[in-house]
Amino acid sequence: MGNFPVVDGVTVFMVAPKGYKVDLNHPERRHVLESYIICGFGLVLAFLFFIQFLYVKLRLLRRLAGEVVCLGVGWMFSVTVQVALIRSFSKGLMGVHAWEISLEKFNYGSKFMVLVPILYAVETGFTKVSLILFYLKLSPQKRWKWSAYSALFFVVGYNTAIFFAVIFGCRPIQKHWTAGMEGTCINRPALYIATAGLGILSDLVLLVLPMAMILRLQMPSRQKAGLVLLFTIGSATLLTSIIRLVLLIPILHSRDSTWVMSSAVVWVFVEANLLIICASLTTLRRFFIHVAPRLIGERGSSTGYHLSGSAGGYKHPFKVTGNIVHRRRADKFGIPVGDGAGFTLDLIGHAPPTPIAVGKGKEKPEKVIARHLRKQESINKIGDSGSDVQIWDPQLASDEVDAERAIL
């Protein structure tokens, strides 16, 4: 054991700077109130987003997919991380100078500083894997699949490395939380900074990955801009990781870790909740279509399909099987007749993919069709994997097959 200074009969971790008046009973504190407020508000908000995610996946879509399990695990670890950090603030172990707490409390607080990075690596890994599993369902193209699997490998790999680096970073392991014990440890502040840096890189990957596909989609500019905005908001953790990285840099040159780290810990509360919120955004549009369609400009459930044009609009009563009401009436000869089965939209959901050819300006329909056939023939020679043409596949867009694509 090392030799530690004694202040008022209490052994402390380090000597206070010259001129500083140590008060062990009422030490200087910072970021305590902010932590309580940000953590409380963030936990409630993240819980609401997570509940709507579960509602859509389990209630509306009725499927327990891999991303649901991953996000559920991530949410539980998010709560655990924040509870541990709040406890460190409430016990006076964080947001206080290392020379104004006893060595015993300093060692006890060091246990939290070992536990939190381990739990946080698990949360980060599972929530980002949940998002990548959603990405995998957006396109069947091999190039897209390989990109998503590469991102998956990177996220799982670096979080697993951090997990074990923290656990086995000291020999013996007890040296993590026992100041002065003989042994060796890795540079823990450098590991914290590496964690933030890798988080920034993974957030960039998850932001750029869907953008390439969205920009190639043939859709109205307004809708495309909305998708870009959605995925940009979904990468808000990129900003928090950058801020946390900047705030962690001073710890490389300071032994007063309990004071310096408190600023970065506040942003851990923000980021831990944003990870859950951002991963839950994938079902938000489907949720509002169900509970409040008018808020996002949707018509909600309807038995008719409305078309509008320069000459005005008209409605055609397309009907789906199961919603048909047979009314009996008689023709002019008195023979009973019915309305028939109408137009069964459920058959569209099982139709083969339908390519759509779009004309340019006043281009004649014959030229449009001929151009499309030539393009399709060249695509068939090259292979589907080399094509950037997006087609509307009604079977893939049906609720029973792949309802997650409704976000697009």
Q: Is residue 403 part of a domain?
A: no
Is residue 189 domain-shared with residue 325, that is, in the same domain? no
- Provide the residue type at 66 as one letter: G
Q: Is residue 79 part of a domain?
A: yes
pLDDT in tens, the chain (408 residues): 568 999 989 999 999 999 999 999 999 999 999 999 999 999 999 999 999 999 999 999 888 889 999 999 999 999 999 999 999 999 999 999 999 999 999 999 999 999 999 999 999 999 999 999 999 988 888 988 999 999 999 999 999 999 999 999 999 999 999 998 999 999 888 898 999 999 999 999 998 888 877 777 777 777 777 777 777 777 788 899 999 999 988 888 888 999 999 999 999 999 999 999 999 998 988 898 888 887 766 665 443 334 344 444 444 444 444 444 444 555 444 545 444 443 334 344 444 455 555 555 566 666 666 666 666 655 554 444 444 444 444 344 444 444 555 455
Instruction: Measure Cα distances from 282 to 41, 215, 229 in Å.
Output: 22, 18, 13
Q: Is residue 125 part of a domain?
A: yes
pTM for the whole structure = 0.73
Q: Is residue 400 part of a domain?
A: no
Distance CA 214, CA 275 (A): 22
User: CA end-to-end span of the chain, whole Å?
Assistant: 61
Q: Is residue 113 part of a domain?
A: yes
Q: How many domains does the chain have?
A: 3
* pLDDT, position 329: 52
Instruction: Measure Cα distances from 71 to 27, 74, 277, 312, 380 in Å.
Output: 39, 5, 10, 47, 39
Is residue 283 domain-shared with residue 306, that is, in the same domain? no
Is residue 253 domain-shared with residue 322, that is, in the same domain? no
* pLDDT, position 394: 38
CATH number at residue 289: 1.20.1070
Is residue 246 domain-shared with residue 345, that is, in the same domain? no
* pLDDT, position 382: 47
DSSP string, 271-303: HHHHHHHHHHGGGHHHHHHHH-GGGGT---S-S
| DSSP conformation class of 93 | -
Is residue 179 domain-shared with residue 70, that is, in the same domain? yes
* pLDDT, position 111: 94
Is residue 374 domain-shared with residue 231, that is, in the same domain? no
Is residue 225 domain-shared with residue 132, that is, in the same domain? yes
Q: Is residue 315 part of a domain?
A: yes
At residue 354, the 3 state secondary structure works out as strand
Is residue 341 domain-shared with residue 238, that is, in the same domain? no
The closest of 357, 322, 346 to 399, measured between CA atoms, is 346
Is residue 341 domain-shared with residue 380, that is, in the same domain? no
Token pair 């957006």 in the structure block, residue:
138
The burial class, CB within 10 Å (0-12 / 13-18 / 19+), for 274 is buried
Is residue 138 domain-shared with residue 278, that is, in the same domain? yes
Look up residue 131 and give its two tokens.
Answer: 């998002």
Instruction: Measure Cα distances from 253 to 5, 201, 249, 250, 387 in Å.
Output: 21, 24, 8, 6, 53
Q: Is residue 261 part of a domain?
A: yes
Look up residue 357 and give its two tokens.
Answer: 């050819």
Is residue 262 domain-shared with residue 324, that is, in the same domain? no
Q: Which range marks the domain in which residue 368 is found?
A: 357-384
Is residue 234 domain-shared with residue 336, that is, in the same domain? no
Q: Is residue 330 part of a domain?
A: yes
